[in-house]
A and B are shown apart, each in its own frame.
Chain A
Amino acid sequence: MANQVSSAAEHADGTDAGEQDAALPGGKEVRRLDRVIIRFAGDSGDGMQLTGDRFTSETASFGNDLSTLPNFPAEIRAPAGTLPGVSSFQLHFADHDILTPGDAPNVLVAMNPAALKANIGDVPRGAEIIVNTDEFTKRAMAKVGYQSSPLEDGSLDAFQLHPVPLTTLTVEALKGFDLSRKEAERSKNMFALGLLSWMYHRPTEGTEAFLRKKFAKKPEIAEANLAAYRAGWNFGETTEDFATSYEVEPATSAFPAGTYRNISGNLALSYGLVAAGQQADLPLYLGSYPITPASDILHELSKHKNFGVRTFQAEDEIAGIGAALGAAFGGSLAVTTTSGPGVALKSETIGLAVSLELPLLIVDIQRGGPSTGLPTKTEQADLLQAMYGRNGEAPVPIVAPKTPADCFDAALEAARIALTYRTPVFLLSDGYLANGSEPWRVPEPDELPDLRVQFAQGPNHTLEDGSEVFWPYKRDPLTLARPWAVPGTPGLEHRIGGIEKQDGTGNISYDPANHDHMVRTRQAKTDRISVPDLAVDDPSGDAPVLVIGWGSTYGPITAAVRRLRLAGESIAQAHLRHLNPFPANLGEVLAGYRKVVVPEMNLGQLNTLLRARYLVDTQSYTQVSGMPFKAEQLATVLKEALDD
């Protein structure tokens, strides 16, 4: 499982796959592997994401641990056969607990020359490459700058190359169907899936059922895809080119007992929101405007109207959060979902929510910036925007999930803070978590936190003359939260707004001392939020170096740490879920190490916060390529820090 800090390091991510030969049924060799990384790559229109998704589902149901990395361009259909149009899906699966989608693929499936060219740099020598030779025409190769055919000029000699005429074989297999050549060709991804499914002994029932359901209204297409899928499987079994198939045993020991499913970050986050509404016994209200890579949450929540979930697709980002804030005033658990550019537009309303002191979840699925940036790529560069991106002193708590499945728990935690403290809360996920997936132990509803809240129901203050009144800004002495008095409650009629108000009464106040008091009170309310102490994983207890991260870097950082420990190094690791407020023990933790390394997918935003807050000489290591860190890369950096 990839969602818990583990000191056990029997298996390190990124180490060479252990192999052992096994039985030889049907004359073919079967080898046992402990882990495999496969990358499917093709044109945006080749269906690589679907192929990857299906292979993932097969793998999940087989019981391997897994982690995925979809990688696709922002254009829906970039020009065919070009490098910018290449879409890929990487899947890492293993018989043990893994943490990342893997650094380098053991197998690359390249559906055309562009896919080969765009991905070959990541493929280590000796790896297997399956290419669709039908697409390696002179013209297609010239389009991406191949002067001679890489399949013939010896440039791929270092790899185990499997040239397969995928298109021809698919069309051949579908001869009996009443389909045009073009239609038949479209099933070539299923042929490839069938071939890979044979190579890795994947169960086929799930994909067969999936295809039947997906094309329920076009049974001819369903049958054609099934035929292509089976033809791919049979091709592997019969052709001599594929002499070996591989087994990766289920990762039974990696998983605690329970019921599991595969889940992506955005789906887990959506379920977390639905669960939060149920656990709070409040109707869930989403105000949102479509934006990549957050739209899937809007799509998902709009399916769950039978949970009383209301989804409002607004006219813009501002209206999305506006509607959510209006619903929060009315007593809903209100959410807005977006990505960085949307947060920029919502900033003024977030400030209003800070002033109104109403619960509101702002879900930011971070992507590459600035401006439109890299809509389909990942980045962690909205941390300071979430922390400070508003006018005035407008503190907002921040929670960040660390793995796709953890998005579920993080959503519940963000809801807890919002509801308890009557405040907007940022939930900072990112494109990598959003689209990546991993196995998740499905919790029982009774394991989930009780988030029920109380609305104010009567007067809460006695005036000097003895009369009982309701003060909308009279605070809970412990949490500093103000009462949540929803319209419809008799006797509590009150007006709130973005103008500074007198503490207690909530009346407009321009009094200097009151403003100073209110600014400090809002800050104190955030600072007081109770968050768990930061757990440090330091098995030897005497590590000289601490590596600390936040968000989706958890996987590669942990994989790098395991790798170093396997090599006998002593290194400590900690990962922040709460970015505002920080855990109370954070300063002490940081001070306890000779060196602190902070890897981030930005230019050092957490690092800036840590240095400013704790006066420690933390060392930043950053990457802003739109891609997650690789375990190998981080292991090297951390080794240098250890040796320094």
Chain B
Amino acid sequence: MTEILTEKPGAGATPAGSVPLASASQLLSLVPKAEGKQSMKDFKSDQEVRWCPGCGDYAILAAVQGFMPELGLAKENIVFVSGIGCSSRFPYYMNTYGMHSIHGRAPAIASGLATSRRDLSVWVVTGDGDALSIGGNHLIHALRRNVNLKILLFNNRIYGLTKGQYSPTSEVGKITKSTPMGSLDAPFNPVSLAIGAEASFVARTVDSDRKHLTEVLRQAAAHPGTALVEIYQNCNIFNDGAFEVLKDKQQAQEAVIRLTHGEPIRFGPEGSKGVVRDPATGDLRIVTVTPENESSVLVHDAHQQSPTTAFALSRLADPDTLHHTPIGVLRSVERPVYDTLMSEQLDAAVEQGGKGDLAALLAGKDTWTVVG
């Protein structure tokens, strides 16, 4: 391990468990790598996992724990921050640093941590209610700022922990305990929302597709800045089968549009369907691919600076049937990272004005002297 805390003489009172005096200002500025090989086991905490049996969260937890060793980061430099909700119990099960905070506020708390500690890999785990309802404001501003956070949004389209009310991603007309005659509000499409909020990285994946989920995590982890990963997650108690159409092999052929950067956007049995741009409106539409139109099938470019096409792709999904749901990385562009800019301003301030001199600051420029 890299030495992150250095000793200083003249320690004051000694709180429990503390040894030599140290200073956080001397911490390293980049995330240190792990010494030696890590395994999935290294990332499992000793806490009993308490989600309902059959919950999609188990699969996501296993995928994340399985993926972490690949990153090879010192696990003490990884932090999971969550809000409130079923998914937000996630940090307790990761053997890293973690904070289970309050409803909706995880992006704000994580922003403070990430902007003050560039040597950490900070992950936010949130749900559709946590991120899009009570915490919507923090989510959009984190995305806008492009703080170095990886946000995993578990979307089960229902409130689980409060036992089954509709969520901001539930389809219109959802019958729940709080909406016996059906919900009235139109749902958010989290991917569209994120693209609209200036997100530099937006992806969608599904809890049950470990390979795809891991690949998306890989790309998110490599992205500098805020990465939003929407993970469709089944709540087998209150909204079972919500994503069945995307998981059932047969139906998925029609329902799922798998995006791969640099590849033509085709789906359906043997790639019989494709996405083309309507020359009249500029919007995207779905066609049956023929030898004549094959060359006009859109090639996915996640790195396109303009969010227009990524947004249009996100709108292909039908919020009711989930038909034509794109999964994969919709958008991944480089944009200045807030925490880097913040640190650069600090460096620039020292360059311009020299390191802060407390005595000079306190005295200011307009003093007078009283002789005793």
CB nearest neighbor in B for A330? B117
State in angstroms the CA–CA spacing of A278 and B358 once bound together: 8
Are B138 and A319 in contact, CB atoms less than 8 angstroms apart? Answer: yes
Give the chain A neighbours of B20 by CB distance below 8 A: 454, 457
Give the chain A neighbours of B97 by CB distance below 8 A: 487, 493-495
Q: Does B110 contact A (CB under 8 A)?
A: yes
Q: Does A329 contact B (CB under 8 A)?
A: yes
Give the chain A neighbours of B4 by CB distance below 8 A: 488-489
Q: Does A639 contact B (CB under 8 A)?
A: no
Which of these binds chain B: A57-65, A180-188, A189-197? A57-65
Give the chain A neighbours of B363 by CB distance below 8 A: 259, 261, 442
State in angstroms the CA–CA spacing of A456 and B81 once bound together: 20
CB nearest neighbor in A for B27? A488
Give the chain A neighbours of B141 by CB distance below 8 A: 314-315, 319
State in angstroms the CA–CA spacing of A492 and B367 once bound together: 48
Give the chain A neighbours of B345 by CB distance below 8 A: 305
Provide the A489-528 mask, 1 if CB < 8 A to any CB of B, else 0: 1111111111100000001100000000000000000000
State in angstroms the CA–CA spacing of A471 and B120 once bound together: 22
Are B115 and A323 in contact, CB atoms less than 8 angstroms apart? Answer: yes
Are A479 and B15 in contact, CB atoms less than 8 angstroms apart? Answer: yes
Are B16 and A260 in contact, CB atoms less than 8 angstroms apart? Answer: no
B5, B17, B111, B350: which contacts A312 (Cβ < 8 A)? B111
Q: Does B290 contact A (CB under 8 A)?
A: no
State in angstroms the CA–CA spacing of A461 and B81 once bound together: 25
Q: Does A81 contact B (CB under 8 A)?
A: no
State in angstroms the CA–CA spacing of A327 and B118 once bound together: 11
Are B17 and A487 in contact, CB atoms less than 8 angstroms apart? Answer: no
A325, A422, A478, A486: which contacts B112 (Cβ < 8 A)? A325
CB nearest neighbor in A for B21? A454
- Residue with the highest number of chain B CB atoms closer than 10 Å, among A57, A285, A306, A494: A306
Are B369 and A307 in contact, CB atoms less than 8 angstroms apart? Answer: no
Which of these binds chain B: A24-32, A348-356, A559-567? A348-356
Min distance, Cβ B22 to any Cβ of chain A, angstroms = 5
Are A283 and B24 in contact, CB atoms less than 8 angstroms apart? Answer: yes
State in angstroms the CA–CA spacing of A483 and B22 once bound together: 13
Q: A261-B363, A319-B141, A454-B19 are in contact. Are A490 and B13 (CB under 8 A)?
A: no
Give the chain B neighbours of A420 by CB distance below 8 A: 13
- Residue with the highest number of chain B CB atoms closer than 10 Å, among A444, A460, A495, A496: A495
Are A271 and B361 in contact, CB atoms less than 8 angstroms apart? Answer: yes
Are A330 and B15 in contact, CB atoms less than 8 angstroms apart? Answer: no
A452, A477, A498: which contacts B21 (Cβ < 8 A)? A452
Are B112 and A308 in contact, CB atoms less than 8 angstroms apart? Answer: no
Provide the B80-118 mask, 1 if CB < 8 A to any CB of A, else 0: 010000000001101111111110010011111111110
Give the chain A neighbours of B92 by CB distance below 8 A: 495, 497, 508
CB nearest neighbor in B for A352? B102
A256, A334, A492: which contacts B76 (Cβ < 8 A)? A492
Give the chain B neighbours of A487 by CB distance below 8 A: 76-79, 97, 113, 117, 120
CB nearest neighbor in A for B23? A281
Q: Does B362 contact A (CB under 8 A)?
A: yes
Q: A278-B358, A331-B117, A452-B10 are in contact. Are A261 and B77 (CB under 8 A)?
A: no
B14, B356, B359, B372: which contacts A454 (Cβ < 8 A)? B14
Min distance, Cβ B208 to any Cβ of chain A, angstroms = 26
Are A319 and B361 in contact, CB atoms less than 8 angstroms apart? Answer: no
Min distance, Cβ A422 to any Cβ of chain B, angstroms = 7
Q: Does A470 contact B (CB under 8 A)?
A: yes
Provide the A259-287 mask, 1 if CB < 8 A to any CB of B, else 0: 11110000000010011001001110101
Are A285 and B116 in contact, CB atoms less than 8 angstroms apart? Answer: yes
Are A474 and B17 in contact, CB atoms less than 8 angstroms apart? Answer: yes
- Residue with the highest number of chain B CB atoms closer than 10 Å, among A304, A443, A488, A496: A488
Q: A259-B363, A445-B359 are in contact. Are A349 and B105 (CB under 8 A)?
A: yes
B18, B354, B368: which contacts A483 (Cβ < 8 A)? B18
Are A258 and B10 in contact, CB atoms less than 8 angstroms apart? Answer: no
State in angstroms the CA–CA spacing of A474 and B77 once bound together: 22
CB nearest neighbor in A for B43? A493
Q: Does B186 contact A (CB under 8 A)?
A: no
Q: Does A475 contact B (CB under 8 A)?
A: yes
Give the chain B neighbours of A475 by CB distance below 8 A: 16
Q: How many residues on the B side are at the interface (Cβ–Cβ under 8 A)? A: 82
State in angstroms the CA–CA spacing of A474 and B355 once bound together: 38
Are B115 and A327 in contact, CB atoms less than 8 angstroms apart? Answer: yes
Are A304 and B361 in contact, CB atoms less than 8 angstroms apart? Answer: yes
Q: Does A587 contact B (CB under 8 A)?
A: no
Q: Does B71 contact A (CB under 8 A)?
A: no
Are B350 and A310 in contact, CB atoms less than 8 angstroms apart? Answer: no
Give the chain B neighbours of A486 by CB distance below 8 A: 24, 27
State in angstroms the CA–CA spacing of A616 and B228 once bound together: 59
Are B361 and A323 in contact, CB atoms less than 8 angstroms apart? Answer: no
Are B346 and A323 in contact, CB atoms less than 8 angstroms apart? Answer: no
Are B1 and A470 in contact, CB atoms less than 8 angstroms apart? Answer: no
CB nearest neighbor in B for A336? B112
State in angstroms the CA–CA spacing of A259 and B13 once bound together: 33
Provide the A299-343 mask, 1 if CB < 8 A to any CB of B, else 0: 000001111111010111011001111111111101000000000
Give the chain A neighbours of B113 by CB distance below 8 A: 326-327, 329-330, 487
Q: A488-B119, A495-B92 are in contact. Are A322 and B24 (CB under 8 A)?
A: no
State in angstroms the CA–CA spacing of A471 and B17 once bound together: 8
State in angstroms the CA–CA spacing of A261 and B369 once bound together: 9
Q: Does A428 contact B (CB under 8 A)?
A: no
B19, B22, B99, B350: which contacts A329 (Cβ < 8 A)? B99
Provide the B338-372 mask, 1 if CB < 8 A to any CB of A, else 0: 00001001101110111110110111101111111
Min distance, Cβ B220 to any Cβ of chain A, angstroms = 20
Give the chain A neighbours of B114 by CB distance below 8 A: 326
Q: A332-B116, A450-B10 are in contact. Are A310 and B15 (CB under 8 A)?
A: no
Min distance, Cβ B340 to any Cβ of chain A, angstroms = 13
Are A282 and B24 in contact, CB atoms less than 8 angstroms apart? Answer: yes
State in angstroms the CA–CA spacing of A312 and B113 once bound together: 11
Q: Does A388 contact B (CB under 8 A)?
A: no
Give the chain B neighbours of A326 by CB distance below 8 A: 81, 99, 108-114, 116
Are B24 and A330 in contact, CB atoms less than 8 angstroms apart? Answer: yes
Min distance, Cβ A292 to any Cβ of chain B, angstroms = 21
Q: Does A198 contact B (CB under 8 A)?
A: no
Which residues of chain B in 127-169 are interfacial with respect to chain A, using CB atoms and an 8 Å cutoff?
Answer: 137-138, 141
State in angstroms the CA–CA spacing of A331 and B141 once bound together: 24
State in angstroms the CA–CA spacing of A145 and B78 once bound together: 68
Give the chain B neighbours of A334 by CB distance below 8 A: 112
Q: A324-B112, A334-B112, A443-B362 are in contact. Are A456 and B18 (CB under 8 A)?
A: yes
Q: Does B12 contact A (CB under 8 A)?
A: yes
Give the chain A neighbours of B12 by CB distance below 8 A: 450, 452-454
Are A323 and B119 in contact, CB atoms less than 8 angstroms apart? Answer: no
B102, B342, B346: which contacts A349 (Cβ < 8 A)? B102
Are A325 and B109 in contact, CB atoms less than 8 angstroms apart? Answer: yes
Q: Does B47 contact A (CB under 8 A)?
A: yes
Are B138 and A315 in contact, CB atoms less than 8 angstroms apart? Answer: yes
State in angstroms the CA–CA spacing of A255 and B367 once bound together: 14
Give the chain A neighbours of B96 by CB distance below 8 A: 493
Ranked 3 nearest A-B pairs via Cβ: A460-B17, A257-B372, A497-B100
24 contacts between A and B (CB under 8 A): A275-B358, A275-B362, A278-B358, A281-B25, A282-B24, A308-B346, A312-B112, A315-B137, A331-B24, A356-B99, A452-B12, A453-B15, A454-B15, A454-B20, A483-B15, A486-B24, A486-B27, A487-B78, A488-B117, A493-B96, A494-B97, A495-B94, A496-B99, A498-B101
A312-B115, A495-B91 known; 14 new pairs, CB 8 Å cut-off, are: A259-B369, A281-B23, A305-B346, A307-B355, A315-B108, A322-B105, A327-B116, A474-B17, A483-B15, A484-B15, A488-B117, A489-B5, A494-B97, A496-B100
Using CB atoms and an 8 Å cutoff, list the residues of chain A in contact with chain B: 57, 60-61, 63, 206, 252, 255-262, 271, 274-275, 278, 281-283, 285, 287, 304-310, 312, 314-316, 318-319, 322-332, 334, 348-349, 351-352, 356, 420, 422, 442-445, 450, 452-461, 470-471, 474-479, 481-499, 507-508
